[in-house]
Amino acid sequence: MPSSDPSDLLHYSYEQLDRLRHCPDVACKICGTTAEMFDMVDFNKTCDSRLYPRGLAGVPVVYHACPNCKFIFTTFFDRFPPDWWRRFVYNEQYVEIDPEYIDKRPRVNAIEIRNLLRGRRDVVGLEFGGGSGLTAALLREKGFAFDSFDPYGVNDVDSSRRGQYNFCSAIEVFEHLHDPVRSLEDIVGMCSKGPLTVLIKTSTTDATVSPRSRLSWWYAGPRNGHISLFSKAALQLLAERCGLSYLAGFRNNAHFLGRGVSKRQVMTSVAKRKLLTRFSA
C-alpha cells in the first residue's frame, strides 16, 4: 500500500466508524451541543482544487456539524497516536500537498504582521503553529521580539519571554487543531495577564458550507490536516470560553480576539496595515 494508506490507518478508521455507528452523535467541541454526522470524505481529500490529486486512500473520515454554533469537525484524529501526525499528515509528502507552507506563506505572514504592528515597540510576540519558525525569524530581523511555538515544528520560545507575550498570531493554524478550546487555553496560558491580542486567520464556513453543498468545500481536507472548520459564531464562543472577546473579523479571514484591547484599536491597526500594504505594492 502507498505510505498515505497503510493497513493500520484503515483499521483505525474502521474502529472509529464502528464507534460512531453505536453512538452517531457527539458533543460539539466548542459549545457542547449534540452535533450530528454531516458528511464523509476520504482521508486523501486535499485543499487542492482537484480535491483528490493523489487518488483515494480508501479511509473514510466523518465530519459532524453543530446545529447551534455551526462548528464543523471530525473526531477521527482525536485518538491519533502522537507519532501518527508526522507519519500520515505532516510527513515528507506534505510539501506536495501544501507547497507554500515552507517559504512563501511564512514570508507573506511576516509582512502582514510587521505592517500590523508597525510603530509599536511594546510588542512581545508569539507565533503559534509557526512550522519552520521562518515568520518569527523574519520579524526578529526587523527588530520585533517574536518567538515561534509549534508542537510539530520549531519551538524557539525564549524562557524569559514566556508569560510576557501580548500579541499572538495563529495564521492558518486553527483548522488543524483537534481540540481548539484547549489550544487557545494553552496560548492564553503562555501570554501576559495584561492586554492581549490574538490574530487567528482561518476560512469560515458561513457562506461556503450548507446541507446542500456539504463538504465539497475545498478547505475541508483531512490530508492537509484541515479538521476543524469554524463559523464566525464558533469563533465568538471559542473566545468567550477562554476569557477573551471576539473583537473583529475581516474579508481576508483575519479574526481578532483580545483582552484589555478595544475594537477601535484593532480597526486602527488594520487600517494602517492596509495603507502600508498598498504603499509597498
Instruction: Identify the residue whose cell numbers are 484547549.
Output: 182
Give pTM, 2 decimals: 0.92
Residue 186 CB coordination number (10 Å) = 15
**What secondary structure does DSSP assign to 8-33, as a single string?**
HHHHHHHHHHHHHHHS--EE-TTT--
| pLDDT tens digits, one per residue of 104-160 | 999 999 999 999 998 888 999 999 999 899 999 999 999 999 999 998 888 999 888
pLDDT of residue 109: 96
Instruction: State the pLDDT confidence band at 6, using cuts at 50, 70 and 90.
Output: low
List Cβ neighbours of 229 (8 Å cut-off, separation of 6 or more). Answer: 63, 71, 72, 73, 175, 205, 209, 217, 219, 220
Query: Would the pLDDT of 24 be above 90?
Result: no
DSSP code at position 56: -
How distant, in Å, are the alpha carbons of 8, 26, 52, 56, 157 from that of 75?
Answer: 17, 9, 21, 20, 30
Instruction: Identify the residue whose cell numbers are 496560558.
Output: 189
Instruction: State the pLDDT confidence band at 1, using cuts at 50, 70 and 90.
Output: very low
Mean pLDDT for the stretch of residues 247-258: 94
Mean pLDDT for the stretch of residues 188-206: 96
Q: How far apart are CA 250 and CA 262, in angstroms?
A: 16
The three cell numbers of residue 127 are 507565533
pLDDT of residue 124: 96
Of the candidates 16, 11, 6, 15, the residue with the CA atom closest to the CA atom of residue 227 = 16
Instruction: Identify the residue whose cell numbers are 515568520.
Output: 135
The three cell numbers of residue 121 are 515597540
Q: How far apart are CA 244 and CA 4, in angstroms?
A: 38
Instruction: State the pLDDT confidence band at 3, using cuts at 50, 70 and 90.
Output: very low
Domains of the chain: 7-97 (no CATH), 104-204+230-280 (3.40.50.150)
One-letter amino acid identity for 67? P
* Percent of the chain with pLDDT strictly greater than 70: 96
Instruction: Give the CA angle between residues 44, 47, 52 to the nearest 5°.
Output: 40
**What secondary structure does DSSP assign to 224-252, as a single string?**
GT--EEB-HHHHHHHHHHTT-EEEEE-TT
pLDDT of residue 93: 92
| pLDDT tens digits, one per residue of 31-71 | 999 999 999 999 999 999 888 998 999 999 999 999 999 99
Please tell me the least confidently modeled range out of 38-42, 53-57, 180-184, 199-203.
53-57
Mean pLDDT for the stretch of residues 72-90: 93
Mean pLDDT for the stretch of residues 192-200: 97
User: How are beta strands 228-229 and 167-171 bridged, if at all?
Assistant: unpaired
pLDDT of residue 269: 86
Residue 46 CB coordination number (10 Å) = 21
One-letter amino acid identity for 278? R
Mean pLDDT for the stretch of residues 204-226: 94
pLDDT of residue 279: 65
